[in-house]
Amino acid sequence: MVSIGGLQAAPGALEEVRELLNSWLIPNDLRTPTERFDDFVRSHKIPSDIAAELRLLRDDLRLALRPEPGSVDRLNAWVLRLGVVPEIHQRGITYRHRGGLAGDMVAVTLDAIATGRWERLKECPDCRWVFYDHTRNSGKRWCRMTAGGPKGRSCGSIAKVRRFRERQAATA
Domain of residue 126 covers: 4-143
Does 71 map to a domain?
A: yes
Task: Tell me the C-alpha distance between 129 and 29, whole Å.
Answer: 14
Task: Tell me the C-alpha distance between 168 and 172, whole Å.
Answer: 6
CATH (domain of 9): 1.10.3300.10
State mean pLDDT over 4-16.
81
Does 153 map to a domain?
A: no
Does 120 map to a domain?
A: yes
Instruction: Write out pLDDT tens, residues 79-106.
Output: 999 999 999 998 889 999 999 999 999 9
Asked whether residue 2 carries a pLDDT value surpassing 60, the answer given is no
Does 167 map to a domain?
A: no
Asked whether residue 55 carries a pLDDT value surpassing 80, the answer given is yes
Nearest to 1 by CA among 158, 144, 117, 163: 144
Overall domain count for the chain: 1
Does 156 map to a domain?
A: no
Instruction: Write out pLDDT tens, residues 101-147.
Output: 999 999 999 999 999 999 999 998 888 889 999 999 988 887 766 66
Does 150 map to a domain?
A: no
Does 17 map to a domain?
A: yes
Does 46 map to a domain?
A: yes
**E strands along the chain, which residues?**
24-25, 34-35, 85-89, 92-96, 121-123, 130-132
Task: Tell me the C-alpha distance between 19 and 58, whole Å.
Answer: 10
Instruction: Write out pLDDT tens, residues 35-52.
Output: 889 999 999 999 999 999
